[in-house]
Chains A and B, each alone.
Chain A
């Protein structure tokens, strides 16, 4: 059976990567628990390691946010080290949260907010994380209101942000629904699918 390793810059990116694999590479399994590098500054210096891993052990899918610039330029810069066709680096436009917002029906019901409040073109939102926080602050669920958003500063994430959103991604987020609204996710799905075609 083919195996793949997921690397993410945070827990949310890891969860998204795992769902991408499940939806795009039927029959594949995760080589091991996904690697959460806890921050982009710790992910970038490890890229040569992950490329080595992809070359010699199994394909690697690496998911990060692109909140610091244009994804195409960033991928180019980072892959100067010499990529490998079995190494897939994908960046969610702006932030991973835009991919969550791209499946509005299930996300609205998870957050317990009206569907109409969700943005229509998530990839074009300048600050998708802010959108998620604003939505969560209006949730009918007290747990979501109190834990996803910081109780002292509503522009910051709360202590349960990752736990709740990862739970959502793992249980309800629909990749094939979301890719129809997010071009960056759609490109990521196609690129990951190439791994399946190559083997």
Chain B
């Protein structure tokens, strides 16, 4: 499944958003334009949809309450609304689902967060329309979505499972390398990749081997001197480790463990693993970090290649990026979404017709689209006069 359209109202720094989405989405925007905030919609829906330890109230609490989540531009209308269209594939014929969730604070008393609308459509058939009469009688029911309740979501459970299957990855190599010293708490769903080794360990041997083989194939071409990649359990402690061998002046090369890998190698391994792990929407935050430019320009191809080889259905990937090399290498510029901050919040838009024309005839997306995201007068930065 994939999300084919996203509509938002008052979500963080967006007053309104209405954009089509394809199987690959590249988000570009200046610092603080809201790339991560846009990705956060899908993490929010994931938490809402998790029937174990999830739900609307949990998702809101994780974000510090509605006041922090709602757009500062929402002055009179305080409702936050999320609407997504979902399809099995991009095929026009494929049936479209729609899930709509709106909520706002109660406006009195305990200021509970209440659902103001929750609806589900399958094609042209309404499956759910809340508030129902029972909700009006007992407003406590409105503190929860039906999406999070197994008793109430049987007619659209596949949607809930789809939302819950979303993966967010912003791998921080230092957290993985120094996990012993910092004895870091792993955040739920492990966005920073600390639990990568445990996840690899929890995979069956056969699948593990197949995935590592694919990762090795990609590393062969991008990390010089690299020759072998193994996954092993430490004989003494049982702790899982990645080991790589690098060609070396010594005949048999030298084995290194993950804490000796470069940040770039680790990020690349984490990225390639995440691509193969799971089916849900994959959110990648700045995958270019610590990678050599020559590798970065192959990220779009790497995503397409690894995901094409899967036997399963299409997997949607949303990537936030600042990298000129990465954006320049995007094959289909209509996959780019541009975030433009303005007085009434950030606007999100696909490329315009004249921009698409310029890219059709010789210009690359980095040349045409990235300048739109540059802060004005950036040349004056560093000049105080």
Please give the residue numbers on chain A whose beta carbons come within 8 Å of chain B beta carbons, in ascending order.
Answer: 5, 11, 31-33, 35, 46, 48-53, 55-57, 143, 160, 163-164, 166-167
Per-residue interface assignment for chain B, residues 205 to 241, with 1 indicating a CB less than 8 Å from any chain A CB and 0 otherwise = 0000000000000000000000000000000000000
Please give the residue numbers on chain B whose beta carbons come within 8 Å of chain A beta carbons, in ascending order.
Answer: 355, 357-358, 360-363, 367-368, 371, 374, 379-380, 382-383, 385
Q: In the docked arrangement, what's the CA distance between A163 and B371, Å? A: 17
B361, A57: Cβ atoms closer than 8 Å:
yes
Number of A-B contacts (CB under 8 A): 44
Give the chain B neighbours of A167 by CB distance below 8 A.
379-380, 383
What does DSSP make chain B's interface, helix, strand, loop or mixed? helix
Q: In the docked arrangement, what's the CA distance between A123 and B36, Å? A: 51
Q: How far is the CB of B374 from chain A (nearest CB, A)?
A: 8
Q: A52-B361, A164-B383 are in contact. List 19 more A-B contacts (CB 8 A).
A: A5-B358, A32-B368, A33-B371, A35-B363, A48-B362, A49-B363, A51-B362, A53-B358, A53-B361, A53-B363, A55-B361, A56-B357, A56-B360, A56-B361, A143-B383, A143-B385, A160-B382, A163-B382, A167-B380
Partner of B379, one of A31, A53, A166: A166
Q: How far is the CB of B190 from chain A (nearest CB, A)?
A: 38
Q: How far is the CB of A33 from chain B (nearest CB, A)?
A: 3
B362, A160: Cβ atoms closer than 8 Å:
no
Give the chain A neighbours of B380 by CB distance below 8 A.
163, 167
- Given A163-B383, A166-B379, A167-B383, answer yes or no on A53-B371 (Cβ-Cβ < 8 Å): no
The interface centre, meaning the residue of B355, B363, B380 with most chain A CB atoms within 10 A of its CB, is B363
Q: In the docked arrangement, what's the CA distance between A9 and B68, Å? A: 45
Q: In the docked arrangement, what's the CA distance between A143 and B385, Å? A: 9
Q: How far is the CB of B336 from chain A (nearest CB, A)?
A: 15
Chain A residue with the shortest CB-CB distance to B366 = A35
Give the chain B neighbours of A31 by CB distance below 8 A.
358
Q: In the docked arrangement, what's the CA distance between A143 and B380, Å? A: 14
Chain A residue with the shortest CB-CB distance to B367 = A35
Give the chain B neighbours of A35 by CB distance below 8 A.
363, 367
Give the chain A neighbours of B357 by CB distance below 8 A.
56-57
Q: In the docked arrangement, what's the CA distance between A35 and B112, Å? A: 52
Partner of A53, one of B355, B362, B382, B385: B362
Q: In the docked arrangement, what's the CA distance between A48 and B361, Å? A: 10
Give the chain B neighbours of A57 by CB distance below 8 A.
357-358, 361
Chain A residue with the shortest CB-CB distance to B368 = A32
Closest 10 interchain pairs by CB?
A: A49-B362, A33-B371, A52-B362, A56-B361, A53-B362, A52-B361, A35-B367, A53-B361, A57-B361, A57-B358
Chain B residue with the shortest CB-CB distance to A49 = B362
Give the chain A neighbours of B368 by CB distance below 8 A.
32
Q: In the docked arrangement, what's the CA distance between A51 and B368, Å? A: 16
